[in-house]
Every structure is written in structure tokens, then in C-alpha cells.
Amino acid sequence: MARKTALVIGGLGVIGRNLINHLSTQDDWDIIAVSRRAPDEEMAKKAEFISCDLLDIKQAEQKLAGLADVTHMFCCALDGGIDATNTEQNRLLVANPVTVISSVAKNLERVVLQEGSKAYGRQLGPFKTPAFESDSRHMPPNFYYEQEDFLIEFQKGKNWTWAVLRPEAVCGFAVGNPMNLIMCFGVYAAISKELGMPLKYPGHLGGFDAINQVTDSGLLARMTVWSATSPNAGNEIFNITNGDGFRYVNVWPDWAKQFGMEVAMPQRIISSDVMTDKAPVWERIVEKHGLVPLPFEQTAGWPYFDFNMDTSWDVLMSDAKRIDRGFTEMVDTEAMFLRLFAEFRERKVLP
């Protein structure tokens, strides 16, 4: 089997980290990753890391020009969090490295771009559900559109192809990345418990009952490799969720049980307002339970938590296309949540 070389842009985020974890278990992949942060010891053993500001084309050319052996490129980086209107910087996070690698890696086969449900306007309000890849766009701006349009246009006449994936609220193990629903909830629950409070759903009451979906990071990693190598995925867009749905009202008691807490009626708060002064509480929790000394500002992205908790409309995307094209794997979402909470606690990141 011919060896392949992966270039993972955004190697320490939830998506990139778990993609590298999966690729490292495969015998026929060499892995190079780009990240603005230095890798921890675990990740440094699995990939060669390059520190680079990809928004600077000169630096991208300097740092990436020697990567002639890259065969597959994975764009997993994000600038600006949940703000879909941050178009130019996010376009450059794709355009700059793709431009450089396309010119130097003569055996490049496919570029995989990670998007999300904001492509359907889920951040704006109710949208058509289930959402299909062929659905119309919403009124821009939306940085996914800028990235996607660049990739499709730039690829014309090239020997390589592209694939675009649209996961929803990716859940997996990663530290130092605040856009992680598992960490957001875990830190919120831990602080609530430390303050002697029961577990209250903190978002819009409609969000407590709405249908939601998420994407397990391991599932996404396997789908990403499939989309990079399958002939059925070239120049195609795919939704990728766990394949089921859930309502917070149904899982909340199980989540509370995981943290040894009682459940109380929902009470809406703006986490990005009321949680920012809780660093002393978090530091007390870390010391009490002997946790990894993760700085409070790196634990949870409260605007991201608000974004998810306050979505009072259904979020539902169809997985029919990817199943029809050959990637049929699904994950039980409720079991996934409990498994990930346990992993974060076993690794002493959450109490």
C-alpha cells in the first residue's frame, strides 16, 4: 500500500487533534500538522508540528514550501469562534496554505475542508430541517461560503480534488480549545456544584426541548479519512452527524448523575456574562480534585456555550448522502456524551 502524507491545518483543535489520533493508528500515513500553539507531549509523538501564522502568506510560503510529499490536506482551522461573518481571515486560513501546497506538492490528491451547520444558517434562526447538502444558501456574509467558493474555483484545472464536510457541534477530547461542548458543560456543572447549586439548564427554555445533533470527533475523523480517499467523495459536500438526534430535556438527568448533582428547573443565564468571574472557583476545584492545571480562560468558550444552549429551534441535518455514498457508520449520541464525560474525568481535566 502506497504511503500517504497528511497535512492537518489546525492540528490541536477538537477536529484536528482527533484526526491526528486516528491517522496515527493507520500504518500507511505520515502526519504533519500546523498549529499556532505548541503541541503537548502526547501529540508531538504522533505528528511533526509546524508553528505558522497562516494569515501571513509570506510566512506560509516560508514554512510550508518544503512539504513536497503532501498527498492529502485537511483544513480544520478556525479564526474568530462562532462568528460566521469573520470572512476574510477564515478565507485566508484555507486559501494561503492550499495555494502554497498546491504549487509544491505535485502528488496532492485531495483537500478536505471542514465546515458546519452554519452553512445552513442555523446561527440566524429556524432553518429547513432536515438540511440537505443541496439546500440553498442564506444571505451572506458567511465565511464557509468564502472558503468553499475559493476551494472550488481554485481547484479547476488541477489534478487534485476537494471534499467538504459539515459536522455539527463536534464533541471529543481536547484541552485548551474552548469551543468544545463537553468542556463547556463540564466546567459549568463543576462550578455549579462547587457553589452548592443543582444542575439547571442555562439556556433559552425552547432550547431545552428542541431537537439537536452533534458529531463525535472519532466518527468525524474516520469520515474525514474516508472523504480524503474514497472515489465516491471527490468534489462532493457531505453532512456528517452521529446519525441520530436528542433533546437536552431527555439527557439532562443523566448528565447530572454523572456529576453527582440534583436537577432543578431551567433558569436562563448569559454564561458569557456571569461565568467570566469564576476563575477563583475553578482554581479551587482544580486544587481540591487534583486536576490538570488548565487556566480558566482555556476551559470553556462561554459565547459558544450560550450559542448552543440558546438555540431554541431544531437543528437537524440529513446523513442520507454520506450513507448512500458508502460511509454508513453511526454513533449513539447519549452513550457518546457519557463516555466523553468519563474520559475527561479519568484524564483529570474535569472533577
- Please say whether the beta carbons of 9 and 74 come within 8 A: yes
Instruction: Report d(CA 211, CA 246) in Å as an integer.
Output: 6
Residue spans of the chain under pLDDT 70? 1, 80-82
Residue spans per domain, the chain: 4-170+216-240, 172-213+245-316+332-346
> Among all chains, which residue has been given the C-alpha cell 484536528?
16
Q: Is 1 exposed, middle or buried (0-12, 13-18, 19+ CB in 10 A)?
A: exposed
A 10 A CB-CB count for 85 gives 11
How far apart are alpha carbons 119 and 24 in whole angstroms?
A: 30
CA angle 327, 178, 241 (to 5 degrees): 20
Instruction: Please report the pLDDT score of residue 175 as a whole number.
Output: 80
**In the chain, which ranges are continuous DSSP H helix?**
14-23, 41-44, 57-64, 87-104, 143-155, 181-194, 205-209, 217-229, 248-258, 271-274, 279-289, 302-309, 320-325, 333-346
For residue 62, how many other CB atoms are within 10 A of its CB?
A: 12
The CATH fold of domain 4-170+216-240: Rossmann fold (3.40.50)
Q: What is residue 4's three-state secondary structure?
A: strand
Q: Are 68 and 32 in contact (CB under 8 A)?
A: no
**Beta-ladder partners of 170:** 215
- The pLDDT score that the predictor gives to residue 81 is 66
pTM: predicted TM-score of the whole model, two decimal places: 0.95
CA neighbor of 93 nearest in space, from 179, 180, 10: 10
pLDDT of residue 1: 64
Closest CA to 54 of 44, 64, 68: 64
All 3 cell numbers of residue 63?
Answer: 514554512
CB 76 within 8 A of CB 51: no
Question: pLDDT value at position 328?
Answer: 98
Q: Would you tell me the crossing angle of helices 333-346 and 248-258 to the nearest 10 degrees?
A: 30
Q: Which of 3, 78, 13 is nearest to 220 (CA)?
A: 13
